[in-house]
Amino acid sequence: MTMLSRVASRLYWTARYLERCEDTARLVASYHMLIMDIPRGSELGWDVLLRILDAEPQFYSRYRVPNEQNVVKFLIADRDNPSSIAHAVRCARENVRTTRDVLPEESWELVNELHLFTRDGADKAIGRRNRRAFLEDIIGRCQMISGMVQTTLSRDHAYRFTRLGHLIERCDMTTRVVDVGVMELMERDSRFAAIDPLVWSSLLYSLSALGAYRRTVGPLLDGTSVAEFVLKQGEHPRSVLYCLRGIREAAKALSNNEEVLRQVERLRRKLRRLHVEELNPKQFHSYIDDFQLLINQLHDLIDDTWFHPENT
């Protein structure tokens, strides 16, 4: 099967934007619930979400104070912020609009409904009263679209490029969440240690991994075990190892895949060498920085190999 490079690119980015939308909604929702449970004064601060998404420069170019209202508005309703739900949904809709002939018939209708729901409800979700219901609806709609695509799309190149985008975005978000979580919690004042399990459970909840962690590891939550689980637990769909396996599987079925597969293997080797218990927070942060650089290089290779092959 052959496919136009621009179509492959749009499918890849459709999946990335939908995953980004869902992951951002999960992140804001989990932190929203966390601040309801822990004592005032022991919160991490809303700017922790900006650090997870590496969005501080853009945020501070338009806002002065990283308070709850500004950060939530920036991440939910700001259409000019590439990390926001509104921006991700708008971009996903545009990509689906131009690739309707290779996606299931229901795709356009569902993505357009997501767009309309976001357009009408994002500004209302900045306040606490409507926020949780809005975010849960966003997550549910994204899962409905992803589930529909996964269960109805033929296992051809359209499916493979969609899967590549979906898994690379998820891999990137998982490493960001665990990186900032480890840095923030392990460097906090010891007088806040009693509420650390609540923060770790919130981190796992943002990755939809809390139940799986408790079944696999146990009820006790600590930084080392949480980081090992979300990075290296190969059976959980949101773990980095699981994502890398799926990326390798999708790339194997595509032509001219040698460089991409080599980069995937570099990531897998680096992950195998990780032993979180041997690293202090700064060393772990450095490790994740290097790992994310490799993820970015993988994206660049995919882009050069299949979306802009004339540049290689």
For 61-104, how does the pLDDT look when each residue is reduced to its tens digit (9 = 90+)? 999 999 999 999 999 999 999 999 999 999 999 999 999 999 99
d(C-alpha 9, C-alpha 36), whole Å: 41
pLDDT at 310 over 70: no
pLDDT at 240 over 80: yes
Q: Which of 146-150, 217-221, 262-266 has the highest mean pLDDT?
A: 262-266
Residue 43: what pLDDT? 62
pLDDT at 249 over 60: yes
Mean local confidence (pLDDT), 150-154: 93
Q: DSSP of the chain, one letter per residue?
A: ----HHHHHHHHHHHHHHHHHHHHHHHHHHHHHHHHHS-TT----THHHHHHTT-HHHHHTT-S---HHHHHHHHHT-TT-TTSHHHHHHHHHHHHHTSGGGS-THHHHHHHHHHHHHHHHTGGGGSHHHHHHHHHHHHHHHHHHHHHHHHHS-TTHHHHHHHHHHHHHHHHHHHHHHHHHHHHHHTS-GGGGGGHHHHHHHHHHHTT-HHHHHHHT-S---HHHHHHHHHH-TTSTTSHHHHHHHHHHHHHTSSS-HHHHHHHHHHHHHHHT--GGG--HHHHHHHHHHHHHHHHHHHHHHIIIII-GGG-
Residue 7: what pLDDT? 95
pLDDT at 189 over 60: no
Residue 81, Ramachandran bin (φ over 0: left; ψ between -120 and 50: alpha; else beta): beta
Residue 41: what pLDDT? 63
Mean local confidence (pLDDT), 111-123: 97
Q: Which of 142, 124, 144, 143 lies closest to 133, judged by CA?
A: 124
% pLDDT > 70, the chain: 92
Domain borders along the chain are 5-311
d(C-alpha 156, C-alpha 92), whole Å: 20
**pTM of structure:** 0.93
pLDDT at 192 over 90: no
pLDDT at 222 over 70: yes
Instruction: Give the pLDDT band (50/70/90) at residue 312.
Output: very low
Instruction: Give the pLDDT band (50/70/90) at residue 44.
Output: confident
Largest CA distance in the chain: 60
More confidently predicted of 89 and 193? 89
d(C-alpha 238, C-alpha 209), whole Å: 7
CA angle 136, 296, 107 (to 5 degrees): 40
31-45, 142-156, 194-208: range with lowest mean pLDDT: 31-45
pLDDT at 122 over 80: yes
Instruction: Give the pLDDT band (50/70/90) at residue 194.
Output: low
Residue 42: what pLDDT? 61
